[in-house]
Amino acid sequence: MDIIDTKDKPKQSPQKQQKTRKNGDGYIYQRGNRFYGRLRNGSNADGSPKIINFSGSTKTEVKQKISDYKKSSLVVNSRMTVERFLIYWMKTYKYGRIKNPSYDRIETTLKSNIIPYIGLLQLQSLSSADITSLLLKLKTEKGLSYSSIKKAFDCLRSALNVAVYEQIIARNPMTAMRMLAKDQFNTKTIEVFTQKEADMIVAECKRTYCNGEPVRMYGDAFILILNTGLRLSEALALELSDWDRDAKTIRISKNDRPVFIRDKNGDRTGGKHIVQGTGKSAASSRTIPLNAEATAALERMESRAVALRSQRFICSSKGEPVPTDRFERAWYSILSYLKLKQTGVSILCGILLLPSCFKKRWTLRLYRLYLVIAQSLLLITPTFT
C-alpha cells in the first residue's frame, strides 16, 4: 500500500461563491474608466420597463447613489405590498402638506384599519373584492362607525389615485366602488344629562376643602363648558386676553390639539406635544356671550392663572397647557365619583339634532329652553332623557 503524504499535497483554493443580486438591488457594470448602474423602477405607460441610470468614477460611488435613490424614492417591483406603498404615500404626499392632527388621523387610520387587513397583499394584484371585504370586516368584525370606515375608504382611494398617477398600477380598483350605505349602520341616540344629574355635576365641580381650595382642579372649566357650549379643544386654548370683561363675552379663535412628535421624515420620535391651531372654518371663530355663572367661573380661573403666571385659563399646577387626556381623566373622575354613566366631555357641549333652522351647538340649558318654547308653540312635546 502506498502512503501519500498529505503535507506535500498542494491545497486547492475554495471556489468563490457568487452573490446573487436580489430583486430591486440594481445592476452595476464598468465601461472604460467609469462605472454605471441601472435600476428598474416600475413600468412606463406602454408597458416597457422604467430604467433609472447612475454613473460614477468608482463602483462604491454608484452603489451609494443607488442606495440614496432607494431611500428617497419609491422603488417599484412586482412584489411591492400595499403596506409599503401606503407608507410611502403618507410620508410623500401628506406629511408637511396637511395639519399635524390630520396627519396623525391618517396614520392611525392606515395602521389600525387598513394595513392589518390588506397590507401584505401585492399592490398590483389588489382588487375591488379585496377592498369590499375590508370594509365589511371593519363594520362587522371591528364594529366601526360609518365615519371611521369612510375615513379608511377615502384614504385608500386617494392613495390608489396616486399609484395610477405614478404609473405603478394601470387602474384604480376603487374607481367604480361606492362607500357602504349609511342606513346600514345603527344610528346613535344622543343623550343629555337630566336636570338632577347636571346639578350634581355642578355641585361637585364647586366643592371645596375646609381651607377653601377646590377639590376638582378643573371644576370651573367644566362649568364654563356647560354654560357656553365650547368644544374641548377650544376651552383648553382659551387665554386671558380672549375675555372681554366689560362686554361680558369671550372670543373663540383657536384650539389645542395633541400631536405626535416627529422627525423631518414623518417618523415618530417620542410622545405627544400640544399644538395650537385655528378652526376648520370661518364659523369656528366667534364671540360668545357669558351668563353670570360662566363669568364667575372665568373670574376664579383667572385668579388661579395669574397666581401661576400663566396666560391660559386652563393650566396645570405648574402653569403649563393641559393635555387633552389629562383633562378627560379629570372629567371621568367626577362621573365615577357621582356614579354616573361614563361619557365624553363633549356631552356638556350639547351637540344635539335640532330642526335645520336651529343647527348649531347648543348647551344643555339652551336645549331645555328650546324644548319649553317649542312646547308653548305646540311644535313638539318636550322629553328629557
Q: Which amino acid is at 31?
A: R
DSSP 323: P
- Residue among 224, 290, 234 at smallest CA distance from 257: 234
- Spatial separation of the C-alpha atoms in residues 84 and 124, rounded to whole Å: 12
d(CA 58, CA 62): 7
pLDDT at 121 (0 to 100): 94
Contact 95, 104 (CB under 8 A): no
Same domain, 204 and 144: no
pLDDT at 118 over 90: yes
In a domain, 313, yes or no: yes
pLDDT band with cut points at 50, 70 and 90 for residue 349: low
Instruction: Provide φ and ψ at 36, rounded to 5°.
Output: -130, 150
In this structure, the answer to whether residues 140 and 213 fall within a common structural domain is no
Q: Name the grid cell of 242.
A: 380672549
Q: For residue 174, what are the domain limits?
A: 82-184
Picking from 15-29, 47-61, 195-209, 224-238, which range would have the lowest pLDDT averaged per residue?
15-29
Instruction: Tell me the C-alpha distance between 119 and 134, whole Å.
Output: 11
Identify the residue with better confidence: 105 or 355.
Answer: 105
In this predicted structure, the answer to whether residue 51 has a pLDDT above a threshold of 80 is yes
pLDDT tens digit sequence for 269-301: 888 888 888 877 777 788 988 988 899 999 999
Number of H-type helices and E-type strands within the chain: 12, 8
SS3 272: strand
> What is the pLDDT averaged over residues 53-59?
89
Burial of 102 (0-12, 13-18, 19+ CB in 10 A): middle
What are the angstrom distances between the C-alpha of 367 and each of 198, 296, 321, 362, 382? Answer: 13, 22, 31, 6, 10
> What amino acid is encoded at 152 in this protein?
A
Q: Which residue has the higher pLDDT, 153 or 268?
A: 153
Query: Does any domain span residue 4?
Result: no
Indicate whether 178 belongs to any domain.
yes
> CATH code at 151?
1.10.150.130
44: in domain? yes
C-alpha torsion 164→167→168→172, nearest 10: 20
Shared domain check, 66 and 86:
no
Do residues 239 and 296 share a domain?
yes
> Taking each helix axis from N to C terminus, what angle separates 219-228 and 324-338, rounded to the nearest 10 degrees?
90
How far apart (Å, rounded) are the C-alpha atoms in residues 200 and 101? 34
Residue-wise pLDDT tens digits, 315-328: 999 999 999 889 99
Other Cβ atoms within 10 Å of 276 Cβ, number: 13
Longest dimension (CA), the chain: 125
Per the structure, how many domains does the chain have?
A: 3
Task: Using alpha carbons, list the distances in angstroms from residue 314 to 129, 220, 225, 275, 278.
Answer: 50, 9, 12, 15, 18
- For residue 343, the model assigns a pLDDT of 77
Cell numbers 353670570: residue: 292
Does residue 383 sit within a domain? no
Q: Which of 47, 72, 97 is the last residue of a domain?
A: 72
Q: Is residue 319 part of a domain?
A: yes
Domain boundary among 72, 100, 131: 72
Interacting residues of 276 by C-beta distance below 8 A, sequence separation 6+: 237, 254, 255, 256, 257
- Mean pLDDT across 236-246: 93
Specify the DSSP element, H or E, that contains 277.
Answer: strand 268-277
% of the chain exceeding 90 in pLDDT:
41
What burial letters (b/e) apply to 218-229, b meaning 16+ CB within 10 Å? bbbbbbbbbbbb
Whether residue 155 is found in the same domain as residue 220: no
Phi and psi angles of residue 331, each rounded to the nearest 5 degrees, phi first: -70, -45
Is the pLDDT reported for residue 54 higher than 80?
A: yes
The x, y and z cell numbers of residue 281, run together, are 372654518
Do residues 95 and 136 share a domain? yes
Q: Do both 222 and 174 map to the same domain?
A: no
How large is the average pLDDT for residues 138-155?
Answer: 93
Q: What are phi and psi of 156, to 5 degrees?
A: -65, -40
330 and 273 co-located in one domain: yes
Mean per-residue pLDDT over the chain, rounded: 81
198 pLDDT higher than 60: yes
Strands 34-43 and 27-31: antiparallel
Q: Flag whether pLDDT at 231 surpasses 90.
A: no
Q: Note whether residue 150 is domain-resident.
A: yes
Domain final position from 72, 97, 126: 72
